[in-house]
Amino acid sequence: MQISFSSELAHSMAVMLLELHAELEEFAYQHDHASDHAEQPSPYLLESSAQA
């Protein structure tokens, strides 16, 4: 019983860590792309500034 519980707990923790890793990878990807967009002004912003 003790070994089964420990094995089940280890498996659950491994799955949780894999899910966390995937979430962090997705966050890093989105953050990198958001900063790329922040560095390059949008042409729509330039048009609205020129009209003002």
pLDDT of the residue at 7: 92
Task: State which residues form the domain around 39.
Answer: 2-51
Distance CA 1, CA 9 (A): 12
Total tally of structural domains belonging to the chain? 1
pLDDT of the residue at 5: 84
Long-range contacts from 3-12, C-beta under 8 angstroms, 24+ separation: none
Which DSSP state fits 17? H
Q: Which of the four pLDDT bands, split at 50, 70 and 90, describes residue 49? A: low
pLDDT per residue over 4-38, tens digit each?
A: 889 999 999 999 999 999 999 999 999 998 877 66
pLDDT of the residue at 14: 98
User: Is the pTM higher than 0.85?
Assistant: no
